[in-house]
Amino acid sequence: MPIDATQPYDDGNIFARILRGEIPANRVYEDEHALAFHDIAPQAPVHVLVIPKGPYVSWDDFSARASDAEIAGFIRAIGHVAREHVGRGYRLLANTGGDAGQEVPHLHMHVFAGGPLGPMIAR
């Protein structure tokens, strides 16, 4: 069920629980500000999620409230994951709110790669 991204941060969301180590994730990268792990239901040969460690619902929330260090750290973590796929290419996607189908109310960037990724948006 898509979420309302204008709601306050819900500390019980699944990615908050992954960050706290309460449920497992197949981690591919971690640093002070960000965590990257494989999506549980991959929609491409490579499907990694990159999340900031702070409590942010969406890109607009994050860009308004996060510190410069958190923003730089998140962007660099996405770049770290993406850099492995420079040769063939990759796609970044951040769903936000109901129309975009955001299901987990913690900001996440999808990194898709590993094969042809199809059209940019469903018609």
**Residues at the interface with ligand 5GP (CB under 6 A):** 14, 25, 37-41, 95, 101-104
For the bound state, the minimum distance from the C-beta of residue 42 to ligand 5GP, rounded and expressed in Å, comes to 8
Please identify, using beta-carbon distances, which residue of 38 and 85 lies nearer to ligand 5GP. 38
Give catalytic residues, as residue numbers: 108
Alpha-carbon gap, residue 72 to 1, rounded angstroms: 31
First vs last C-alpha separation in the chain: 20
Q: Which is nearer to ligand 5GP, 23 or 69 (CB)?
A: 23
Alpha-carbon distances, residue 98 vs 3, 19, 63, 109 (angstroms): 6, 24, 19, 16
Asked whether the beta carbons of 43 and 91 are under 8 A apart, the reply is no
**Considering the complex, what minimum distance in angstroms separates the CB of residue 38 from ligand 5GP?**
6
Q: For ligand 5GP, which is the closer residue by CB, 20 or 68? A: 20
Name the CA radius of gyration of the chain, rounded: 14
Residue 28 beta carbon to ligand 5GP: minimum distance, rounded to whole angstroms: 11
